[in-house]
Structures are given as C-alpha cells and as structure tokens.
Amino acid sequence: MDDELRKRGTSPIYRRVIVKVSGEALMGPDSFGIHQPTLERIAADLVAARALGVAIGVVVGGGNIFRGVKVSEQGIPRVTGDTMGMLATVMNALALETAIERAGAPARTMSALVMPGVCETYERPRALRHLEEGRLVLFAAGTGNPFFTTDTTAVLRAAEIGAGAVLKATDVDGVYSADPKKDNKAERYARLTHREALERGLKVMDATAFALAQENHMPIIVFSIHAKGAIEAVLQGQGRSTIVSS
C-alpha cells in the first residue's frame, strides 16, 4: 500500500473512515432495487479508496427496497416495518460485498441482527480485526433496533471503530443553503461547524444521527456519489464536498 501511496503522491487525510451508502445510491437511474452498473461503480470506488491505505467500513442503507416508516403508514406495525427495512440493508450489503470482492478487494458483511448462515454478526473486536487485516467491512442491519436509521448507524459505527470521519455519499455534492434542485441561488458550503448547521436549520443527517455526531465531534463529509472516484477524492482533500466538523 505504501507503494500505491508513493505512486499517487498524495496522502489520505484519514486513516480510517465510515462511508455511508444509501439505498437510493444503489438504485442508480432505476426507481427500485439495485442497478448493477451503479453497484459495480461504487464497489470500484471503494476498492480504489482502500488502495490509498485507508481502512474502510461501509454502512449500507435500505431505502431502495424498503423503508419501515412507509409501510407502517399502510398498516404494518412500525417495529415490523423497521425489521423489514433492516433486512433490506442486509440484501444491499451482500450485493455490495460481492461486487467489492469481484473488484479485487476482500470484504466482509457483519450484521447487527444475528443471521447465522447468511453473514457474520457485528462484534466490534472482530470488525477491528477485519479492518486491520485490510478487509472492507460492510455494516448491515443498521443498529439492529427499530426507530433508528442507517445514518445513525454510520455515526455510531464510526465512533465505535475510531474512524476519523463519516463520508456521507448523497445525490448532491454537499450541503446547500437551500435545495439546489429547486433554488438556483442555493449556495454550497465548503465547511460548516455542527453548531452552524443546526443554527441554520440545514439538514445534514436525521436529528438523532446529527446529535450523535456533534456529541462525539465526528466530522461528516457530504459529497456526491455520482462522480466517479469521489470517495478517493474526498480522502485526498479534493473534489466537491461539505465538511461539517466541530
């Protein structure tokens, strides 16, 4: 890996990160499920980022398949809906694990819900060992509890494994003063503090996830997953993003 670093001539800013990949990111241009070329591109980006010498944990969402809160509006109890949502994240994690391994890097899915025969159960010491041994670790099934999100999981796992930041892959290239899709005067912030984001009412993550990040002084870097090589660029302090830190 040192050779790789020398070849590129740029050192990564962080040694260990959590990348949050939402379910929507895996959908690509489709309106449901997994878009294979998009899955493969994200996997290739993660593998390239790992080649910088960075230990990478990935928290995968499930919104492309299932969202607990949506089905609970239709009559399924929220707790059941959320369990189904967590199962959706496991499906996505297994798909991404396969794509990462095909792209040439070892990967391991660890689920917060116990699923023998499907994947390993999340245990912090084992996760740390996988990372130390150069494997990408995919954290599936969120926190394992209903009423939480995978954004909260991303911050939680980042704090647990001692990550330097959460890299939140989204549709847009950062945090804006207004919705850039609706307001052409919306400005992108390059840097914000957690407090400024709160005071300006900017939605970086859901409130629980954001509170956990603020309390643990965990930087959140918001960037667009659509740009090829975006994860690598963020890790090298390049590309377009918003850094939210204390």
Residues near ligand UDP (CB under 6 A): 22-24, 61-63, 67-69, 81-82, 85-86, 88-89, 142-143, 145-146, 148-151, 153
Question: Would you say 146 or 180 has its CB closer to ligand UDP?
Answer: 146
Question: Would you say 85 or 239 has its CB closer to ligand UDP?
Answer: 85
CA–CA dist 94, 200 (Å, integer): 38
CA–CA dist 108, 98 (Å, integer): 9
- Least distance in Å: CB of 75 to ligand UDP? 15
- Least distance in Å: CB of 26 to ligand UDP? 8
- Least distance in Å: CB of 166 to ligand UDP? 12
Question: Would you say 65 or 165 has its CB closer to ligand UDP?
Answer: 65
- Least distance in Å: CB of 78 to ligand UDP? 8
Question: Would you say 52 or 86 has its CB closer to ligand UDP?
Answer: 86
- Least distance in Å: CB of 119 to ligand UDP? 16
Cβ(223)–Cβ(173) below 8 Å: yes
Closest Cα to residue 149, out of 166, 129, 163, 136? 166
Question: Would you say 13 or 56 has its CB closer to ligand UDP?
Answer: 56
Question: Would you say 52 or 95 has its CB closer to ligand UDP?
Answer: 95
Question: Would you say 45 or 82 has its CB closer to ligand UDP?
Answer: 82
CA angle 102, 106, 108 (to 5 degrees): 105
- Least distance in Å: CB of 237 to ligand UDP? 25
- Least distance in Å: CB of 88 to ligand UDP? 6
